[in-house]
Each structure stands twice: as C-alpha cells, then as structure tokens.
Structure 1
C-alpha cells in the first residue's frame, strides 16, 4: 500500500524534490565567508615580487605556471557563487586598472575574515555593512593625501620606465629594469602628442622561441610570424594595399560545365584567366602599390604575376591583425582585388622585409623612429619577446600586459602612491582614527576595516620570509614618527624599512589602489548581504550507469 510522505515544512515545501535551501548565519554568511577566505588564501601566497608561482592545469589540460592572480582565477573557473563574486571583482580590477588583481582578493578576504569575527561577537550584519561602507568612503577620501609624486611627462621614456617598474617587478623579479625600458619605449612611441587617451591594443607582442629574455627588442610597427609568399622579400618606402579577400581568381556562385572540343579551345580558356589575373595585378602595381597584404589564400597564378611585376605578397589570416595593420599603416581594408586601390586607400611604411630570428621566419612592417603612422598619428609598436620555453614567454607576456595597462592608468591619472605597504598603513591609521570618533556599533566595523589594510604588508612580509607582526609594528612606529612613505625593503636580507618614494621608487598608480579598495569593499559587502541560499534542482535526468570495461570485446 503506497502512501504520501509529506515534505519538510517551511520554504522547502515550495520547491521541487532535490532543491536545497540554506538560511541563517551559520549556513549562509559563514559558509560564503569561508569559501571567499579559502580563495583569497590561495592567491595570497602569490602576492608581491617574491610570491610563489601556481601551476594551473585548465580544462583543456594546458598548464600555466604563473603568480598572476587574474590568470589563475580565469583558468580555475571558480564555480562557488560567493567566491565567484570575488573573482568577478578581480576581473573588473583588471579591466579598469590592469594591475592590482591580487590586492583585491587579499583585501576582500581580510574584510570578510574580520566581518566574521564581528558577527560572532554579536553585531548584526547591517551594522557591519554600514560600518564598512563608511570606512570605504573615508579611505577613498584620504587616498589623495597619500600621493607621493606624479609622472610629469608621459613622453619621457626614463620617467615612464621608473613609474611602471614596480608593476613589472611583481611578475618578473630580476628583469624589471630591462622590461620596463622596453615597455616604456613601446608605449611612448605610440602615445599621441595630444595625450587624450591611450589604447592598450596599440602595443603588440610577438613571441619567438629561442635565445634569452635579454635578446628581446621593441620596434615601431608590426611583426608577424609568417613568410613572404613570393620571391620578393623586401620593399623600401612601401605603399601597401590591404585586401580582406584571397589573392586568387574569383569562383562563381553557381557551378557550370564547359565543353572543350580541342587543344586550342583549352589554351584559349586558360589564357582568359591568365589575362584577367595579370591585368588585375598590373593595375595594383600601376596604382603605386609595392606590397600586397591579403586575408585569404594566394593563388599560384596571382603569385606568378606578383613576382613578375615586383610586388611583395604577405598573407594574414586573422581579421584582427588586418585591422591593426591598417591602423598602423593608415590603410583602408578593401573587399575585392577587382578594383585597384586609390592613393588614399593605400598605407605607407618605411620598410617591409622578411627576416629570420632563430629558426622562425618573420615579416616586419617597420616605421622609422619619430615617424607618425596610423590614424590620428597613433600607430602600433611591437615587442619581440625571446625565451627558452613557451611557459616563460607566456609569463613575460603577462608582465608586459601589466606594464602597458599601468601606462594606461597613468595616462588617465599621473599621480603615484607609495608602495611596499606604505599606503595601506597610512590608510589604516586614518581610518582607525575616524572609527574612534564614530558613535554607535558601526565603529567596530570601521576599526576592523582599518585593520584589514594590514593584510597587504603582512602578505608581503610572509612571502619574503619575514615576521609579519614585527613588520607591522615597525611600520606603525615609522608612520607615527612622520615617515609617511616608509615601506618594506624587500631587497634587504633582514627585516628593514626604506623610504619607498626615493629612487628607484616603489610606487603604484593612484587609480590601481583607488579601484582596488572600491571593488574589494563592494565585493565583501555583496557577500555579506546574502542571507539565504536557494539552489534549484539540477537539470537533467538520472545519470547513465557506467559500462563495463571492454564491454564490446568479442573475445569475452
């Protein structure tokens, strides 16, 4: 005799069988906080110049060895909803400032850890949230007062290299001076004179396996890992015609049958195609073009006449590369070879040539130094990176990306803040003093917000092998004496402080810290606002039973 089993009372009775529902501090807030703390603890050991690397194997079984938090989170594919909020905040930090992704995770993890302490003390969640929001506003108000210097001239390579050096040092310790010079040269060469904006897509990277990092170079123009198609391999003062179509005979949309009765008719039929192709290639040459770039295959017949008329042919299959090349040369992308280019549609380049680096064939479109190129005078520069392994070059490329984004942040706001934990301690002191003057229970949350700033210098100390508590006390003592730019000296053998505003300065862009504090605070508050977790029944039916091994073997 069958009988009906009643569902559990409460909210669960409204959901399908298999759905899950959690509520209360223990099941929701503390569960989410623990997940976020675990995520922050994973990337915290990678913070700073001496942070440890992580080996991440993604779903395609490709391995990454890096200490870049953005890459780690992107390849891990975090699924926990609360931890995913921190990952999204870190991703937004990468989009807004390009650097400081690990800072967001470390700071947000510390905020949630201290929030858990406050909640276990008896404070209500709204009181903690209100205190955090008050402290965040105070920290952002006090941040401009911590500015130690600014980049006066973004067209000065040495000044820019000194400003972006700390961002590169956190990824490639020991090579920061060399890479900072290369990246600064590449960014300054394409930074418009008006200084209105900077497009990070104007700095490209070409990785060539072999040699060492010291063999890397930068040049104004673009470099492609390809070969020239024909026998013409170089052109000076080149006029470049860019086509998005193949350089070949056009095929008709409808299929047809041709009846040929004699050898003369066969020669006449083939000759028609040859005459048409030669006329088109000759028209391109007479228009003044010396280099043809096409976005599809190059036919043997077209290549024969291109060699005959002295045209250099380069094939690029990527539409994005074609668009960047047009921006570099000031050319217009043409859809068909039937129409020769006009003088306004052709791009100009000082030299186009094929070269060999190691055992890799390269085609280089190069502008001479000081020459403007592209739309509005803002061309494209390329960093040719050398390295012994692909993993090494991938890690260097991530350091280059951080340096270029750091330059972008400086183009928007040239102010610099002292690094090495100096800014965090200064903000901690100011926010803590503000918390002392706050009435109500929110002052506890404000003080804990100030205490969360200590997580950054604490992580730096632990990753350098120093005692964190001793460093924190030394930093507070130095800042109390008026040394507002005192930070950790990571190059010293023992625990020591230094004035990080001195040369070589350890500074970071104002926008990196501004957005980092803002996004970390918002992520922590969003996690704390969750008071219920409702998980619907997973889609799909029951899983199929596993088949026995070698079930289709006829010998069994």
Structure 2
C-alpha cells in the first residue's frame, strides 16, 4: 500500500498535484519583468537603420534573416505569458499603423526595467502604475506640440516619396530613395480622389535574380505563370474569368455505357466535343479574346481555345482571381458560359514575358488610374526578397497612416527626447510619490535614441547629453545623425527624417498599457502538465507519462496496450542512458503509473 504524503497547508493544498504558484514581488512581479526585459533586449539590437539582423529558424525549419521585429516575434512563438503580453501589444501596433513594432517592444521593456528599480526602492506597485498612467496621459497631451510638419498633397509622387523614405530606411538602409520612389508611385496611382486607401491594392511580385536596382513598378498585376495555349499576347484584352475548371461539366454520379460496335465507339465522345466547341465559340462570339480560369484546363478545351485564338491563363488561388477581377473590372463566373459585356473585364494589354529566367504573365494598364498596382522586386537571395517585401509593406502602411492623419513628428530620437524633457519637468511639479514613476517614465524614452546610437557604434550616454543640451536651447527638432561621425546631431525637419504622428501615439499608448498589465500581476498559478516534470527527464518519458495518465481516465482505453507501448519506449531509453541514468526514469514511471498496472517491473 502506497504511503500517503500530506500536502503542505495553504493555497497549494487546494490545487491538484503538479500545480505551481508564485506570489509576491520576487516570485511573480520580478519574474515577469525579467522575461519581458530579455525579450526587449533581443529586439533592441535590431532597432533603427543600423540595426542587426536576426537569423530565425521556425518550427517548419524555414530560415528568416531580418531585423523586422514583427517577423521575428511571429516566428519565435514566445511562450512566456508575461512576455506574450508585450508581443500582443506589438502585434496590435502592426495592425493599427503597420509600423513601430520594435518601438513598442523597446519602450515597454524600458518601462518595466525602470519599474523594477522603483519597486526595489520601496514604492508600491499601485504607486508605480498610477505614476505611469499619469505620465502616459501627459505624454499624449504633449505629443501634438512635437508636430513639425504635415503631408500637404499625397497625390504628388515626389512628396509621397519623401514621407515614405524614413519607414523604408529602417529596413533597407542604402536603398531607401529608390524603393521609396517605387512605393510612392504605386500608392499614388491607386489612391482615389475620395481618399479611401486600401493596402491590399499594392501587390508585390518577388522574382529572383539581378539586383534591387532592377526592381520596377507596374500599373496592373503580374503573375509567375505561363500561358496555357498558343496565344501568348493580347492587345485591348476582353477577359472572361471563370472560378471553375475550363472543361466540360460532368455529373457527380457514375454511369455504365454499353458499346456494341466500332461506330458507337467513334461517336462516343463526339457529343462532348461538340458541346465543348459550342461553349468556346460562344465565349469568342461574346467579344472575349482571353480566358482566365481558377481550375484545371482540359486538353479539349485548350484545343478549341487555340482554334478560336483565345489566350488562356490558369490561376491557382481564389485570392489571385479576386484581385484580378478588381484589376480588370470583371465578374468571376461559376460555370463555363458566354459572359455579358458587364461581366467581362478589360485590360490594355496582356502578354507573356520573361523576367530573368522566370516566365510571367503581365496584365498591364497604360493609364495611371488602375485599381491595383504591383511592385516587382528583384534580389539575389530569397531572404533578401522577403526583407525588401517587408520594407514595401512598411512603406505602404505609412502611406495609409498619412491618409488617416497627415501630421508628422521628427524622427531619430528627437520626439522621444522632447517628451522626456517635458515629462521630467511635469514630474517635478507633482507632489506625491507618483513623481518618481513619472520621472522614470520620462527616462524610459531615452532607451530609443540610446538604442539608435549603440547600434550605430556610438556611446549612448554622449548622444543623450548632447540631445538634451540641444533641446533645452529650444531646438526640439534636433535628432541623431546616423551618417555623421560620433554623436552628431541634425535638424530632422531639414533632413526629411519624419515619422507619422499616429505611429508614436499608438506606440506610447500600447507599450504603456502592456507594461501596466504586467505590473498588475501579483500571483502566477500554473496548471500546465508539462511543468509537472523535472527538466532532467527526457521528452519521451514526459510524453508517455502524460499519455498514460490521460488514458487512465477513459473507460474504453486498452491500458495493457498503452503500457506495453510505454515499456517498449522505456527499454529504448534504458539502452541509451544506461543503468545509472535510468534510475531517474524508473522513479517517474512508478510515481505516474501509481502502481495500477500489473506488468513486470524494471
């Protein structure tokens, strides 16, 4: 009979075996802060134009080489619950404004790091939280005073290029002028007078080979496909789009046909051929000279398409079909039939081309008022192409944000230092203990220009002191000049290094909310089975112990089969680890099987 070991009194007595709980500053609050600090320090070195790349290999063994914080976090799959709150805040920043994800991470990490100092000084968590909330509210009141410019005419390609340039610079430093021009041209061409801008209307086509300077912009769409038939180019294309296969319709039921002689065999498929020809002929007579299908293309249908000089292109995904319908103004038909003039799309030219060694089908509009535009990017490696695509996405999202709010603030740390300066003055005017939290909130803004300086090989403390000196003299647009020697300063308004107001607004808001949420946690209760095992046990043992426990509760489970499989696995582990190493595994087996299996013992 197994000896009953009583549980320790208190909160642990109310929980099941294996559950853990942590309470208080040291066990809960500081533990969460430490996890968030480590995550923030991971992405901090990727901040700014001179930020370092991270090499991330995800669970599918796909390689990512990038300094884009959103991509890094998405592929890391962070598991720590407190760190996951910071990750969720950065994801919200990406959804809201499309840029500034690393700003949220670095700023939230700095807030929590300084909050830890306040807590160790003796302030209570509630006082720190109240001070942070007051400081956040004041910072959002000060931020409109930092606005130095605004977008005047987003239909002007030259002005749009200068506004997008800063966002692209952080991802593709050195290529920002060229790429910003392409992105601005693509955005302006689809930007209607009504002012509604859709990010999905700017597409990206990645083609391996050549260099970044060979990238181009196209009014229309481009697909890495080949034409199915003999016709490879059409001018003034009238396009019929079908979401079904380009083939004869067949019934869902199976049938049996009895053929008595050779004539019946010869005539067996003639009716099907006549029907297929009639359908293709009807499409041609409707005025269409091109067919796009979302399914397979039958040989018979392709034969008659060539006969009637129809160009045929197959697209694999419904998303490509939808975007093409928007581009050419067509309606995707569910079955093969002659389209009406309203259902047909129009494109100035459709042709098969070769870019590098890749065959592409180009749907091109000669006018600049296309519904969709495409940026064709070239590069030497797939990782470089992916990174350029992320830079294009940032540029397009920046254009969208400026459509919502045209205000601009200086970049390169100028806005952060101005906020820190004014918040410090505000903190000194507050009488309560919250003033310490407000001042630390102001100090947290220094983490951003400090990261820019350190990633550029400059001492952060020297840059911070020079920035404060310049801002105290009234030069609130002065920021870090990354192209200068040492901690050089430059007027960001004159240099054109400007950021959208909404990026800073939402970044401050989301980072503060995430940090406060982490600080409010005073107890961690863990009921996850995987924490019931010691780290020294092998994964195979953990899996089969849990497997046995779960199946014991099911009345219909063959426990003998479960444990036989379990013993076979243990024998393999015993051979691998030897007798001494297997003692630990035997202990786990006895504890978790609870002696309910009548099998031989080790």
Corresponding residue of 1:554: none
- Whether 1:330 aligns to 2:321 is no
CA distance in 2, matches of 1:163, 1:537: 48
CA distance in 1, matches of 2:30, 2:237: 66
Greater helix fraction, Structure 1 or Structure 2: 2
CA distance in 2, matches of 1:541, 1:303: 56
Deviation at 1:547, TM superposition (A): 5.5
Deviation at 1:177, TM superposition (A): 0.3
TM-score by length of 1: 0.96
Q: Please, what is the CA RMSD of the aligned residues? A: 1.4
- Whether 1:518 aligns to 2:509 is yes
CA distance in 2, matches of 1:422, 1:549: 60
Corresponding residue of 1:177: 177
Corresponding residue of 2:378: 386
Deviation at 1:546, TM superposition (A): 5.2
Instruction: List per-residue Cα deviations over 1:225-244 (Å, max 9, x = no partner).
Output: 00000000111111111110
Q: Is the 8 A contact 1:417 1:423 kept in 2?
A: yes
SS at match of 2:220: strand
CA distance in 2, matches of 1:424, 1:452: 9
Q: Is the 8 A contact 1:200 1:408 kept in 2?
A: yes
Q: Is the 8 A contact 1:216 1:386 kept in 2?
A: yes
Corresponding residue of 1:273: 272
Corresponding residue of 2:493: 501
Instruction: List per-residue Cα deviations over 1:113-165 (Å, max 9, x = no partner).
Output: 00000000111101111110110011011111101111101111110110010
CA distance in 2, matches of 1:267, 1:55: 63
Deviation at 1:537, TM superposition (A): 4.2
Structure 1 residue aligned with 2:475, among 477, 483, 490? 483
Larger of the two Rg values belongs to structure: 2
Deviation at 1:267, TM superposition (A): 2.3
Corresponding residue of 2:83: 83
Considering Cα pairs closer than 8 Å and 6+ residues apart, tell me whether 1 or 2 has the greater RCO: 1
User: Please, which moves more after superposition, 257-266 or 129-138?
Assistant: 257-266
SS at match of 2:22: strand
Structure 1 residue aligned with 2:450, among 458, 482, 493? 458
1:156-175 superposed matches below 5 A:
156-175=156-175
CA distance in 2, matches of 1:110, 1:18: 34
Corresponding residue of 1:345: 343
Corresponding residue of 1:376: none
The size of the alignment, in residue pairs, is 542
Corresponding residue of 1:142: 142
Q: Is the 8 A contact 1:16 1:537 kept in 2?
A: no
Q: Which runs of 5+ in 1 are unaligned?
A: 374-378, 552-556
* Cα distance change of structure 1 residues 512 and 547 upon mapping to structure 2, 3 Å threshold: farther
- Whether 1:548 aligns to 2:539 is no
1:190-229 superposed matches below 5 A:
190-195=190-195, 197-229=196-228
TM-score by length of 2: 0.88
Deviation at 1:459, TM superposition (A): 0.3
Instruction: List per-residue Cα deviations over 1:250-282 (Å, max 9, x = no partner).
Output: 221100011112222122221101100000011
Corresponding residue of 2:68: 68
CA distance in 2, matches of 1:230, 1:134: 68
